Amino acid sequence: MDMVDRLKPLDILNKSLKSPVIVKIRGGREFRGVLDGYDLHMNLVLRDAEELDSDTSVKSIMGEILVRGDNVVYVSPTVQKETEKDKGEGKGKGKGRSEAEGTGEKGTW
């Protein structure tokens, strides 16, 4: 496989957009959330973010956060549990988010 065929880091981030990820930052803190955006400096926007304890239990619920790229140790795609998916559906979350995006209330990267 030559260099043309290999995925680049930003390709992986692009494939992970709008999907759940786990982000570890310097100092050992870990966050789980939906990757909403990123830039070339690997600054990350996570929505529905939660800070995780060392045993991966939820330490605190953060909401929407910006993680500065120079603090990122790794970004790992993850799979939501079925019960977590069910909690998020049917509460009108998705509709409100898409309407906000359609009006341009949030800037794009």
pLDDT score for 81: 53
Radius of gyration of the chain (CA): 15
Name the one residue in this structure whose structure tokens are 């680049």: 8
**How distant, in Å, are the alpha carbons of 9, 30, 68, 71 from that of 41?**
11, 19, 8, 11
* pLDDT beyond 60 at 79: yes
Q: Name the domain count of the chain.
A: 1
Residue 31 is part of which domain span? 9-79
Identify whether 58 is part of a domain. yes
Which CATH number fits the domain that encloses residue 51? Answer: 2.30.30.100
The mean pLDDT of the chain is 78
Model pTM? Answer: 0.66
